[in-house]
Amino acid sequence: MNDLLGQPLHVINIGIASFSEPIRAAGAGVTHLDWAPPAQGDRALGDSLARLMRHSEVEQANEQAFAAYGAASPVLEGVGIARDCLPGMQHGLILHAGPPITWERMCGPMQGAIVGALLYEGWAADAADARSMAAAGDIGFAPCHHHNAVGPMAGIVSPSMPVWIVRNAQGGNVGFSNMNEGLGKVLRFGANGPEVIERLHWMRRVLTPVLQAGLKVLGPLELKPLIAQALHMGDEVHNRNAAASGLLLKKLVPALLASGAPTADIAAVAGFIAGNDHFFLNVSMAACKAMLDAAADIRGSSMVTAMCRNGVDFAIRLSGTGQQWFTAPAPVVNGLYFPGYSIADAAPDLGDSAITETAGLGGFAMAAAPAIVKFVGGTTQDAVANTMAMTHVTLGRNSSFTLPALDFGGTPAGIDARKVVDTGILPIINTGIAHRKAGIGQIGAGVTRAPLACFTQAIAALARQVSV
Amino acid sequence: MNDLLGQPLHVINIGIASFSEPIRAAGAGVTHLDWAPPAQGDRALGDSLARLMRHSEVEQANEQAFAAYGAASPVLEGVGIARDCLPGMQHGLILHAGPPITWERMCGPMQGAIVGALLYEGWAADAADARSMAAAGDIGFAPCHHHNAVGPMAGIVSPSMPVWIVRNAQGGNVGFSNMNEGLGKVLRFGANGPEVIERLHWMRRVLTPVLQAGLKVLGPLELKPLIAQALHMGDEVHNRNAAASGLLLKKLVPALLASGAPTADIAAVAGFIAGNDHFFLNVSMAACKAMLDAAADIRGSSMVTAMCRNGVDFAIRLSGTGQQWFTAPAPVVNGLYFPGYSIADAAPDLGDSAITETAGLGGFAMAAAPAIVKFVGGTTQDAVANTMAMTHVTLGRNSSFTLPALDFGGTPAGIDARKVVDTGILPIINTGIAHRKAGIGQIGAGVTRAPLACFTQAIAALARQVSV
C-alpha cells in the first residue's frame, strides 16, 4: 500500500469527463471512461430495466417481433384516394404527423398545412375562414398512424388526397402515405398559397390516374429489392432518395407508356417525378410502416414500432404496449441551415419520416449515404460510425438491407427500448428542418436524436405489463 | 563484429519472396521487403527511365497534358450515323477495338462481329460469304481509335451504324462510340445471328431517330456532372453503369415525351434503355475518349492517352508519342466465370473500354463500386485498396470525380508510364470476358492488369524523343 502511494498518480475517471481536467492540469495521468448510470440514475426505472433485460418473455417476444419485421415484404399495390382506402377516414377529418395534438398546441407549419388542406377540400373559403373552423372545433384531427398511414413533415392527409398503398405480402397489413409534392413552397412545410393548392389538385386530377394506369400495367412492385438496390446507390431512403426515385421512374416509364394514358399527361407525370429526387420518400415511409406494423402488438416486446414528431412532441410506440404513445418535447435540430436562417427560425423536429429509422433505414443506414454527413460537415467515417453506433441499441441486422461500406453487412434494425435506456445511446435521425412559421418551407437539414424520456416511459410501462 | 555474429540471425530479404522460406525454416527471423528492380532490371531502359524521371521537359509536358485532361468538358451532342460523322469513315471500311490487326490474327469474337457487320450492311449474302470477303482483303479494317472512336469488346463500327457524338466543349475535339445492344447474344461478343442483325437494324431505324429527337429537345448534356453523380451511386462507369444509365434515362424521358416522336417508338426506346444497365457504358467511353484526346500529342509527355485491346494484342499510347501504339500480348482474364465456363474458354482481354481506366474511372474508381470486387470474391477494403494503389502510378487526382469511400477525394487519374515502369504497379482494369469462339457471348467478368511490356516500350520511345 505504501508502495502504491509512492508511485506516480494515474487516475481512472468514470462518467463526467470534465473531472479529468484538474487532475490532468496538476500533472497526473487520466484515463477517461465514458459511462453514465443506466436509466439516468432513476432507481425504480433501473429496477424495471434490470428485470426486463434478460426476461425470457421479453426475449421471446422480441425474437417474434424482429422475425415478423424481417419477414415482412412490402409491395406497392397502387394509389387510391384517402377516403376510399384509409380505415376510419371520413369527411371533416384531417390526419397529421406525430402523436395526437390539439389545434392550439400545433406548430406553425402544421397549422399552415391544415389551412391548405381545408382550402384544397373546399371546406373553407379562405385562410381566415379555415383558421376559424379549426379553432372552433369544426374539424377533427388525428395522427396518420391511427389510420395506418404516415406523412413527412406536417404529414397532412385529407379525405380527397391521393395515397400510396403498400401491402405487406407476408402479413396482409397495409401501410399508406400521402404523395410527395417536391421542394419549395409545399403543403408539408406549411405553405398554402394558390400554387400549392393547384399542385395538389393536379396531383389528384393527373398524377393519380396516370400512376394508377401505370401501376396496373406494372403489377405489384416489391419494394424491399428496390430499397436494397438504392442503399447500394448512395441513398438511405429518408433524406436521400435520388437513386430510389430514379429506380421507381425506370420501372414506371415503360409501364406508363404501355398504359394508354394520354401522352401529354405521361409527359407531365414523368417530368414531375424526374424533377423530384424525394419522390420515393413517401413510398419508403409507407413500406417502413408496413414492415413495422407486422411487428406490432406482441405482448412483452420492447421493440420500437414507431417514432414520430408533430413539431411539438416526439413520440414512440413499443410492440408490447400496442397503440400507446410515449411522448417528450420534440428537439430543435442543430443542423446546417440555408443562408439567412438559423436555429432560432426552426420548428422543433417534425414528421412521421422517422419511421424509416425505426425500420433500420435513414440515419441507421447512414453508412450507405456518406453524402448526407458530408453535407452537415462530417466525414465518410462519421457516417459509418453513426450506423455502427446503432448496433448497440438494436435487436439485429436486416440482411435484406446491406451496406457496401460495412462490407455488405446488414443495417442495424429493430430498436430495443431496453438497450436505449441501458446505454443512453439515442436513436439517430436524419431530418429536414422546417421554418417555425407556416409557409416559409425548408430552411435546413441535419441529424438529430430521439429523446431519452420517450424510452424511459416506455420501459416503465412495459415493466408493469410483464410478470416478475 | 564478433558480437554481431553471436546474435540471433535476423535477415532482411529484398525482392524474391521465396528466398525467405529456407531461412524461416532454419529458425531465423526474416523481414521480407517487396521490391523489384525498376525497368525489370533492363539496364538501358533503367538509364532511360532515370533520365525521364525528373526531366523538366517531361514534367512540364505532363503538367500541361494533365491540365488539359482535367479541364476537358465532354458534352453529349447527339447521335449520328458513322459514315456521316466519323473522320475518314468510308464504304468498305470496318472499325474494330484495340490496335491494328489483320483478319487472320483476329480472335473469334472479333471475326464473328465483323461477319455480323457485313450482313448488317448488306455487303455479304451470308456468313460464309462474309468470311471469304474478309479473308480475300475486300474489306478494310482499322482501329476505332484511328477515327476518334471507341467500342467495347469487339468494338465493331460499320458505316451505317449509329454512334454517340461527344464533344469536348473546352478543346473542341470529338469522341465517338457505337451504341450498346444490351446483354446476351450481341455483336460485340461476336454473335451474328438474325436476332442480332435485326436488333442492329431496329437501333438505326427506331432508337436513333427517337434519341435524336429527344436530344434535340434536351440540348447538349454535360457528362462530367452525370458521371460524378453516378460515382456517388455505386458505379465506376466501366463494368457498372446502373446508376448512370438510370440518370441518362431520367434526363431523356421528359425530353422524349416532349419531342413529338411516336409514342410507340418512345415506349420501345424507354423499355430498351430501362432494360439495359450497361446502356451508358458507350457514352462513358466516348466521354473518356474526348477527355483524353484533349491531352494527346504534347511533346515529351509520359501520360497515357489510350489503353485498348483487340483480343490478341494490348496496346497503349502516350501523349508525347502521339499516334504510335506500344503493344504486348493481351492477357487472359483470371476472373469469375459463369457456370459451365472456365479460363480455357476465354478470349484474351478485348475492347476499347479500358479508355475508362485511362481516364481515371473503371478500375481506378473501384472504391466507388465495391459491388464489383464483391462479385469476384473481394471485399470493400479491396476496392478501396485498388483505387489507392493507382495513386502511385498517376499524375494526380481528378477533383471532378470524387469517391465517397475516400471521403470524397478525387479518383487517381493520368497514368504516368514512367511510374508504371519504375514501380512495377500495373494499371488495373475491370472487364467483361468473352468466349474465345464467336457468338457465345460473355462468359464472365473480372479484374486484369495492363501488361508491363507496353509501358517499357513506350518509355524507351519517349526517351529517344527527349533531349538529354
Q: How far apart are CA A447 and CA A434, in angstroms?
A: 14
pLDDT at B468: 64
Q: What is the pLDDT of residues A125-180, one digit of tens each?
A: 999 999 999 999 999 999 999 999 999 999 999 999 999 999 999 999 999 999 99
Q: What percent of chain A has pLDDT over 70?
A: 100
Over residues A40-49, the pLDDT tens digits come to 789 999 999 9
State the smallest CA–CA distance between residue A280 and chain B in angstroms: 14
So what's the pLDDT on residue B334?
Answer: 84
Spatial CA neighbour of A109 closest among A154, A76, A140? A154
| Interchain CB contact of A247 with B (< 8 Å) | yes
pLDDT at position A131 is 97
Residues of A in contact with B271 (CB under 8 A): 254, 257
Q: How far is B70 from chain A (nearest CA, A)?
A: 23
Please tell me whether the overall predicted TM-score, pTM, comes out greater than 0.80 for this model: yes
Pairwise CB contact (< 8 Å): B374 & A253: no
Distance between A274 CA and the closest CA of chain B, angstroms: 6
Optimal mutation site among A233, A277, A379, A403, interface B, most CBs of chain B within 10 A:
A233
- E-state strands within A6-103: 10-14, 29-33, 74-81, 93-96
Compute the nearest-CA separation of A292 from chain B (Å): 27
Whether B263 contacts chain A with CB within 8 A = yes
Mention every residue, 6+ apart, whose C-beta is less than 8 A from residue A347.
A107, A108, A109, A311, A332, A433, A434, A435, A436
Which pLDDT belongs to residue B271? 96
d(CA B249, CA A292): 33
Q: Who's near A59: CB < 8 A, 6+ residues apart?
A: none
* Nearest CA-CA distance, residue B405 and chain A, Å: 7
Cross-chain Cβ contact A271/B250 below 8 Å? no
| Chain B residues within 8 A of A255 when measuring between CB atoms | none
Rounded to 5°, the CA angle B466-B467-B468 comes to 120
CB–CB of A86/A159 below 8 Å? Answer: no
Q: Which of B234, B257, B370 sits opposite A234 (nearest CB)?
A: B234
pLDDT at B289: 98
Question: CA A67 to CA A298: how far, in whole Å?
Answer: 12
CB contact under 8 A, A404 and B233: no
Asked if the Cβ–Cβ distance from B251 to A274 is below 8 Å, we say yes
The alpha carbon of residue A22 is apart from the nearest alpha carbon of chain B, in Å, by 37
Asked if residue A345 has pLDDT above 80, the reply is yes
Q: Is the minimum CB–CB distance between B217 and chain A shorter than 8 Å?
A: no
Out of B271, B380, B407, the one facing A379 most closely (by C-beta) is B407
Contacts of B259 in chain A (CB under 8 A): none
In the predicted model, what is the mean pLDDT of chain A?
Answer: 95
Per-residue pLDDT of chain B (468 residues; tens, 9 = 90+): 677 777 888 899 998 888 899 989 988 899 998 888 877 788 999 999 999 998 999 999 999 999 999 999 999 999 999 999 999 999 999 999 999 999 999 999 999 999 999 999 999 999 999 999 999 999 999 999 999 999 999 999 999 999 999 999 999 999 999 999 998 899 999 999 999 999 999 999 999 999 999 999 999 999 999 999 999 999 999 999 999 999 999 999 999 999 999 999 999 999 999 999 999 999 999 999 999 999 999 999 999 999 999 999 999 999 999 999 999 999 998 888 999 999 999 999 999 999 999 999 999 999 999 988 887 778 999 999 999 999 999 999 999 999 999 999 999 999 999 999 999 999 999 999 999 998 888 899 999 999 999 999 999 999 999 876
What local confidence, expressed as pLDDT, does residue A377 receive? 77
Q: Does A260 contact chain B (CB < 8 Å)?
A: no
Closest CA to A246 of B226, B257, B264, B218: B226
Nearest CA in chain A to B254: A271
CB contact under 8 A, A242 and B263: no
Distance CA B81, CA B123 (A): 17
> How many whole angstroms separate alpha carbon B217 and alpha carbon B253?
11
Nearest CA of chain A to the CA of B265: how many Å? Answer: 10
Strand spans (E) along B325-463? 326-329, 336-337, 350-351, 394-403, 409-415, 428-434, 442-449
Interchain contact B137–A (C-beta under 8 A): no
Give the Cα-Cα-Cα angle A315, A316, A317 (nearest 5 degrees). Answer: 135
pLDDT tens per residue, range A178-217: 999 998 899 999 999 999 999 999 999 999 999 999 999 9
Task: Specify the pLDDT at position B419.
Answer: 97
**pLDDT reported for residue B414:** 98
What angle, 0 to 180 degrees and rounded to 10, lies between the N-to-C axes of helices A263-274 and B242-258?
140
Distance, in Å, from the CA atom of B296 to the CA atom of B318, rounded to the nearest integer, reads 7
> Residue B300 region, left (φ>0) first, then alpha (ψ -120 to 50), else beta?
left
Contacts of A403 in chain B (CB under 8 A): none
Please list the helix, strand and coil fractions of chain B in percent, rounded to the nearest 5, in that order: 45, 20, 30
Element (H, E) at B286: helix B281-293
Q: Contacts of residue A243 in chain B, CB cutoff 8 Å?
A: 233, 243, 246
Q: Which residue of A has its CA nearest to B259?
A: A267
Closest by Cβ to B257, choosing from A249, A267, A379? A267
| Inter-helix orientation angle B43-53/B452-465, to 10° | 60
Q: Least CA distance to A234: which residue of chain B?
A: B233
Concatenated DSSP letters for B158-198?
-TTSEEEEEEETTT--EEEE-----SSS-GGGT--SHHHHH
From residue B164, alpha-carbon distances to A450, B294, B453 in Å are: 51, 18, 33
B78 and A CB contact within 8 Å: no
Provide the shortest C-alpha distance from residue A190 to chain B (in Å).
29
- Chain B positions in Cβ-Cβ contact with residue A272 (cut-off 8 Å): none
Sign of CA dihedral A385, A386, A387, A392: positive
pLDDT score recorded for residue B438:
87
Angle between helix A242-257 and helix A263-274 axes, rounded to 10 deg: 170
Q: Which residues 336-395 of B have a C-beta within 8 angstroms of A? A: 370-371, 374, 379-381
| B102 part of contact set with chain A, CB < 8 Å | no
Mutate to test the interface with A, among B206, B235, B250, B256 (most CBs of A within 10 A): B250
- Chain position carrying cell 422543433: A348
Kindly indicate the confidence band of residue A1, based on its pLDDT and cuts at 50, 70 and 90.
low
Minimum-distance CB partner of A371 among B232, B247, B370: B232
Please list every residue in chain B whose beta carbon sits closer than 8 Å to the beta carbon of residue A405: 370, 380, 405
Residue A468 has pLDDT above 70, yes or no: no
- What is the interface size between A and B, counted as CB pairs within 8 Å? 88
User: Distance (Å) from the C-alpha of residue A256 to the closest C-alpha of chain B?
Assistant: 9
- CA nearest to B269 within chain A: A254
Shortest Cα distance, chain B CAs vs residue A379, angstroms = 6
